[in-house]
Amino acid sequence: MSDIIAITITGILVGCLYGLIALGLVLIFKTTQVFNLAQGEMLLMGTWVTWSFIEFVHLPFWLAIILALIFSALLGIVIERFALRPMLGQSLMSMIMITIGIYSLLRGISLYFWGGPQQTFPQVFPSQGISVFGAPISAHLIIAAIIAVILVIFTYAYFQYTRGGLAMRATAENPMIAQSIGVNVTGAFSRSWALSSMVATMGGVLLGTAMGLSFGLSDIGLKSFPVVMLGGFESIPGVLIAGPIMGLCEFLGAQFLDPLVGGGIGEIIPFVVMLIVLLIKPYGLFGYKIIERV
Amino acid sequence: MLNRLHTIISILVILSFVLVLTSCAPSAAPTIPAQKATVTVNIGALLDLSGPTATSTQPGVDGIRDFINYENQKGGLDWSGGKVIIKLNEVDNRYDPSISMPAYDKMVAQGYPIILTHQSADNLALKGKAKNDQVVLVTLSPTPGALTPPGWVFANYIDHASAFCAFCNWAKATWKGSGTPKIASLTWDTAYGKAHMCALDYPKQIGLEYVGTEYTPMMPQDVSPQVTRLKEAGADYVWTQAVIISTYLKDMKRLGFQGKLVTGLNTGLIEWIPTVTPEVMAGTMHVSGLIDMAAADPNGPFMKKFNEVTTTLNVKRPHSTFYPNGASAAILVQKAIVSALNTVGDIKKLNGKACYDALVNMKNVDSLGITDKFTFSETQRRGSMSIQVVQAQPDGSIKLIADWTKAPDALEKYPDCAK
């Protein structure tokens, strides 16, 4: 019984991290209507930079993260300014193709500077287990999940209760009208990319401190896609619900279905769940239903 | 007048003949001994120097370069006709066989007798061509499909499946618990992760119990479900082909799993020590076909040579799992070339066939202890069929717990292993 509890809780906690990474996708889509396929690579690059500050500059962990977040914000702004902004007004497919190009570029840069082997962060979070309802749960995962949830809540609060967030929501609704009433639309775009990049870096660091850091970390970005689709493309609270759902599906699938099929089913269960939900609710659980009057 | 001219010309012609004939005559007693020539042999190397696996394979590349450059800097290797310098001609294939193929063709056209390779894809793609072109491939990656049936691809050490079988033998021989030891697998759900799976019948055949196989993605965030099942199955040893093991170790510790993780050939423990605490790592074993630099005797032949080489070349090389792989490949190539030259006696006669003959006739040749002694034959293309077992200790050190132990040949026992 304690094993089931451990797997359930672990799945939910890991799902919170998926939700944090998915938040980056939602932030960009919410403001610019662009689905960023380079989210995983932005996560990876921010995490490599954090590691580099610790490894080569010998900065303390907290300072390395702060500097890496600043770097990530600048990276997001540069990407928006020079890759996406010139494409404003172009078709959606063109915008998505641009993000594929950004993916390749960031991948190449990461490979060039940091190469291939696994690297590690110093031990920051405790590695032992904590007993939760009698089940041993990784203390690191608990702390990481709490941080992820706090970040999502803060981001939601920013969108709901600040002028900057209001501007971004207005831009997402209708950029032309937003501009006509004095909203700095391009500034809103830049802010969304900067925030998304920072969120991706935090997600990468939280995962990297647990799993180590290598190029496979960017594949975690792929796991955030079903979270976004399940939660809703524009819904920040949606990622907080969808993430744990996906994590739970993955771990319960691995626990009960893997022995039946020889393994690997846990990886695809979230995508299957996503497909089923989208058949019933095409905009996701909390996505905005768009009605266009002709 | 004309007669006088004819006479002068005749004398000059005769004098010329005399001079030519005397210069061709052997010296009766040479005053300076004849100098033995230094010859140069060009070999090729298809290596990932800037691609996705570049940095992880870099230590192996360093091993090749260092051990070749060291001998060259000393003036070359000795053979019966003098000295031989080996010139390493590298091509960066960026882990892409489509780059390796034309590079290989160019090397063959330039007459290289030996080409070093590092990727399984290259070995498989070039196996047939190497036989047709009569060029020896010496590989750092013992790809079963390239080594069996035996062709012109030679590996310096053992394959994964045979190493797994050897570990099973060791587990049985050293078992002190009750009943029979139980072995399981926790590994990547990839071709590499399954490299030992063709030999899963072996534990049962020798009286061990194989209790299950669990798969994970290459970068799992958590492996609780898999470890839970292994714990329920009571596995004593868990074999893994995964190269990234930190999550496995942490979750095993957290879930109170008592079995020991056993890593396959390419997952040395040196690289993983910094990633987990000694307490988490303690008991983990590594089965290797190559010397483990962390557990090696610092006064042993390889470590002494390593220090000598790196000091002479003035390079800094951290201890790593892959450096000995490159070093032993370099030694193997050097021994093959010297042996071939001694047989053919003339640099002009040195070719792939001569190197091939030298290799298949190589028996119990010293490899500085990096592997067990190199022994090839007409049917054996792996230079060493022995393993060592090292284990992480509670104090964070790594200790050798089993020295060179002969392995059963899984490629012979299980034809599926060669696919």
From the CA of B160, how many Å to the nearest CA of chain A? Answer: 21
A78 within domain boundaries: yes
- Nearest CB to B56; choose among A117, A211, A263: A117
A79, burial (CB in 10 Å: exposed 0-12, middle 13-18, buried 19+): buried
Tokens representing B214?
């669990």
Interface contact flag, A212 B56, Cβ < 8 Å: no
Q: Residue A128: its chain B contacts at CB < 8 A?
A: 253-254
Contact between A104 and A118 (Cβ < 8 Å): no
As a whole number of angstroms, the distance between CA B45 and CA B70 comes to 17
Strand partners, A119: A213
Higher pLDDT, A267 or A101: A101
Is residue A293 situated within a structural domain?
no
Per-residue pLDDT at B301: 96
Does residue B398 register a pLDDT over 60? yes
Nearest by Cα to A201 from A184, A187, A218: A218
User: What is the SS3 assignment for A40?
Assistant: helix
Give the helix/strand (H/E) hosting A194: helix A185-211
Select, from the ranges A290-294, B142-146, B358-362, the one with the highest average predicted confidence (pLDDT). B358-362
CA A8 to chain centroid, in Å, comes to: 21
pLDDT tops 80 at residue B2: no
Residue B404 has pLDDT above 60, yes or no: yes
Grade residue A6 by pLDDT with cuts at 50, 70 and 90.
confident
In this predicted structure, the answer to whether residue A56 has a pLDDT above a threshold of 60 is yes
Sheet-wide strand order for B285-288: B209-216, B182-188, B237-240, B260-263, B285-288, B386-392, B398-406
Question: Looking at the whole model, is its pTM more than 0.90?
Answer: no
Structure tokens at B258: 């008592």
Q: For residues B220 and B193, what is the distance between their CA atoms, to the nearest angstrom?
A: 14
CA distances (Å), origin A83, targets A45, A107, A206, B367? 17, 16, 28, 55
Identify whether A229 is part of a domain: no
- pLDDT of residue B108 exceeding 50, the answer is yes
Calculate what percentage of chain B has a pLDDT beyond 70: 91
Domain count, chain A: 1
Note the pLDDT of residue B6: 64
Q: In Å, what is the CA distance from B377 to each residue of B115, B380, B419?
A: 19, 5, 21
Q: Which residue has the higher pLDDT, B139 or A264?
A: B139
How far is the C-alpha of A170 from the C-alpha of B309, rounded, in Å? Answer: 67
Same fold, B37-158+322-384 and B160-264+267-296+387-418: yes
Query: Do B340 and B407 contact (CB within 8 A), yes or no?
Result: no
Tell me what percent of the residues of chain A surpass a pLDDT of 90: 34
DSSP 8-state code for residue A213: B
- Rounded Cα–Cα distance for residues A243 and A286 (Å): 13
As a whole number of angstroms, the distance between CA B42 and CA B20 comes to: 38
Q: What angle do CA A38, A43, A47 make, to 5 degrees?
A: 145
| Residue entry with tokens 């596995």 | B235
Going from N- to C-terminal start, the domains of chain B cover 37-158+322-384, 160-264+267-296+387-418
pLDDT mean over B383-407: 94
Say yes or no: B192 contacts chain A, CB-CB below 8 A: no
pLDDT at B35: 53
A234 or B92, which is more confident: B92
Q: From the list A116, A123, A210, which residue is nearest B221 (CB)?
A: A210
Contact by Cβ (8 Å): A195, A35: no
What lies within 8 Å, CB to CB, of B31 at 6+ separation is none
pLDDT at B1: 56
Q: Which pLDDT score, from 0 to 100, does residue A195 have?
A: 93
CA distance B419 to B161: 12
* pLDDT of res. B36: 67
Place of tokens 């060179």: B404
What is residue A260's predicted lDDT score, i.e. its pLDDT?
Answer: 81
Tens of pLDDT, residue by residue over B305-340, are: 999 999 999 999 989 999 999 999 999 999 999 999
Asked if residue A35 is part of any domain, the answer here is yes
Q: What is the C-alpha to C-alpha distance for residues B221 and A13, in angstroms, rounded to an integer?
A: 11
The residue ranking higher by pLDDT, B353 or A136, is B353
Residue B28: pLDDT band with limits 50, 70, 90: very low
Closest to B225 in 3D by CA, of A116, A284, A269: A269
What is the rounded CA–CA span in Å between residue B378 and residue B358? 11
A-chain residues near B246 (CB < 8 A): 118, 120, 211-212
* Nearest residue to A212 (alpha-carbon basis) of B270, B190, B272, B215: B272
Q: What is the mean pLDDT of chain A?
A: 86
Q: Is residue B334 within a helix (H) or strand (E), and if so which, with residue range?
A: helix B323-344
pLDDT at B19 over 60: no
DSSP B42-78: EEEEEE-SSSTTHHHHHHHHHHHHHHHHHHHHTT-EE
CATH of B160-264+267-296+387-418, one of 2.60.120.10, 3.20.20.70, 3.40.50.2300, 3.40.920.10: 3.40.50.2300
Answer whether residue A243 is part of any domain: no
Give me the pLDDT at residue B173, please.
95
**Within a domain: residue A50?**
yes
Q: What is the mean pLDDT of residues A208-225?
A: 81
Q: Taking all residues of chain B, what is their mean pLDDT, rounded to a whole number? A: 89
The predicted-structure confidence for B176-214, as pLDDT tens digits, reads as follows 988 999 999 999 888 888 889 999 999 999 999 999 999
pLDDT confidence band for B32 (50 / 70 / 90): very low
pLDDT in tens, B231-268: 999 999 999 998 888 889 989 998 899 999 999 988 88
- Tell me what pLDDT residue B136 has: 97
Instruction: Evaluate whether residue A245 is within a structural domain.
Output: no
CA distances from A17 to A94, A138, B34, B121, B267 (A): 30, 14, 76, 36, 28
| Contacts by residues B66-70 (CB-CB < 8 Å, ≥ 24 positions apart) | B66/B309, B66/B310, B66/B313, B66/B315, B66/B317, B66/B326, B66/B327, B66/B330, B67/B309, B67/B326, B67/B327, B67/B330, B67/B331, B67/B334, B68/B330, B68/B333, B68/B334, B69/B313, B70/B308, B70/B309, B70/B312, B70/B313
Per the document, the length of chain A is 294
pLDDT at B151 over 80: yes
Q: How confident is the model at residue B25 (pLDDT cuts 50, 70, 90)?
A: very low
Q: How far apart, in whole angstroms, are the C-alpha atoms of residue A250 and residue A223? A: 10
Looking at the predicted structure, is the pLDDT value of residue B30 above 50?
no
Does residue B72 carry a pLDDT above 90?
A: yes
pLDDT of residue A185: 86
Model confidence at B297: pLDDT above 70: yes
Whether residue A90 lies inside any domain: the answer is: yes
Residues of B in contact with A116 (CB under 8 A): 52-57
Report strand pairing: B37-47 vs B114-117. Answer: parallel
For residue B68 the two structure tokens come to 């070749």
**Degrees to nearest 5, angle at CA B398 with B397 and B402:** 150
Residue whose structure tokens are 């054996």: B380
Arithmetic mean of pLDDT, A123-152: 84
pLDDT of residue A163: 87
Any idea which architecture B37-158+322-384 has in CATH? 3-Layer(aba) Sandwich (3.40)
How many angstroms away from the CA of B35 is the closest CA of chain A?
A: 48
Query: Which residue in this structure is represented by tokens 């850091």?
Result: A213
Is the CB of residue B275 less than 8 Å away from at least one CB of chain A? yes
Distance, CA of A291 to CA of B18 (rounded, Å): 112
- DSSP-assigned states of every residue in B4-26: HHHHHHHHHHHHHHHHHHHHHSP
Structural tokens at position B227: 């470890």
Say if strands A129-132 and A135-138 run parallel, antiparallel, or are unpaired: antiparallel
By mean pLDDT, which of A57-66, A260-269, B53-62 is the weakest?
A260-269
pLDDT classification of B31: cutoffs 50, 70, 90: very low
Name the minimum distance, in Å, from the CA of A77 to any CA of chain B.
28
Check CB contact under 8 Å for B255 and A136. Answer: yes
pLDDT digits (tens, 9 = 90+) for B112-140: 999 999 988 899 999 999 999 999 999 99
Instruction: Out of A81-95, A100-114, A255-269, B72-86, pick the least confident.
Output: A255-269
How far apart, in whole angstroms, are the C-alpha atoms of residue B120 and residue B283?
31
Would you place residue B5 in the very low, low, confident or very high pLDDT band (cuts 50, 70, 90)? low
Q: So what's the pLDDT on residue A268?
A: 86
Q: How confident is the model at residue B57 (pLDDT cuts 50, 70, 90)?
A: confident
Which band of pLDDT confidence, cut at 50, 70 and 90, is reported for residue B24? very low
Residue B22 has pLDDT above 60, yes or no: no
Residue in B57, B225, B253 nearest the CB of A251: B225
C-alpha distance from A3 to closest chain B C-alpha (Å): 7
The answer to whether residue B415 neighbours chain A at the CB level (below 8 Å) is no
Q: For residue A206, what are the domain limits?
A: 2-115+132-222
Nearest to A84 by CA among A200, A189, A194: A189
